[in-house]
Structure 1
Amino acid sequence: MKTEEPTASLGQTLEWLRKELAEMQVQDQRLLLTLRHLHSVLEELRTESAHWEDSRSSGGTSPVRARAGSEARGHPPIPTKRLAQLLQGVESRRSSLP
């Protein structure tokens, strides 16, 4: 029987950890993009809702859509198709042990 050297096993384990950490960083970046997009959509909806409420209470006719979304803060919105791709990438995260 042949036994593995501890250093080879340790080296393989460290390499696996590096790979997993790199994958986690990519996942974190995707989650951050998704979070930023969702935050901008929520802000836009809140602004729009408040505007509608103000116009209803003041008896206005047709409210103009206010935009306080991602454009105002310098974050371009993520297209819906891209967001779906990002979410699929998040869900496809695998757990692989050495």
Structure 2
Amino acid sequence: MEIAEEPTTNLGQTLEWLRKELSEMQIQDQRLLLTLRHLHSVLEELRAERAHWEDARSSGGSSPIRARAGSEGRGHQPVSLRGLAYLLQGEDSRRSSLP
């Protein structure tokens, strides 16, 4: 009778392992979603800044440097490339492991 119980135990262990892996993958997916949302907002910020610079350049009335200096005083925070690199690097990478 012990032989008949062995596949059930292995199946139970495999299902538990699958539950754990799926849970970890959900956490990783949530982190990736947050990272993608952050990157999207940074891209939008860069697009707006580029448009601002292009407008300042085409107006000819003020230099882009002066336009930039004016925008910094209004709470504009520069984009940290080091921060982006850290986000893209990720703490955990998906892994393919077997029970």
Larger radius of gyration: 2
- Cα RMSD for the two superposed structures: 3.1
Alignment of 1:1-98 (within 5 A): 3=3, 5-61=6-62, 62-63=66-67, 64-65=70-71, 81=83, 84=86, 87-90=89-92, 92-98=93-99
Between the aligned residues of both structures, percent identity stands at 69
1-structure distance, mates of 2:8, 2:21: 20
Tell me the TM-score normalized by structure 2.
0.70
Equivalent pairs, count: 88
Q: Secondary structure at the match of 2:95?
A: coil
2-structure distance, mates of 1:34, 1:23: 17
Whose helix fraction is larger, Structure 1's or Structure 2's? 2
Structure 1 residues without counterparts, runs of 5 or longer: 70-79
Q: Which runs of 4+ in 1 moved over 6 A?
A: none
Q: CA deviation at 1:82?
A: 8.8
Indicate how the Cα distance of structure 1 residues 82 and 48 shifts in structure 2: closer, same or farther if over 3 A, else same: closer
Structure 2 residues without counterparts, runs of 5 or longer: 77-81
Tell me the TM-score normalized by structure 1.
0.70
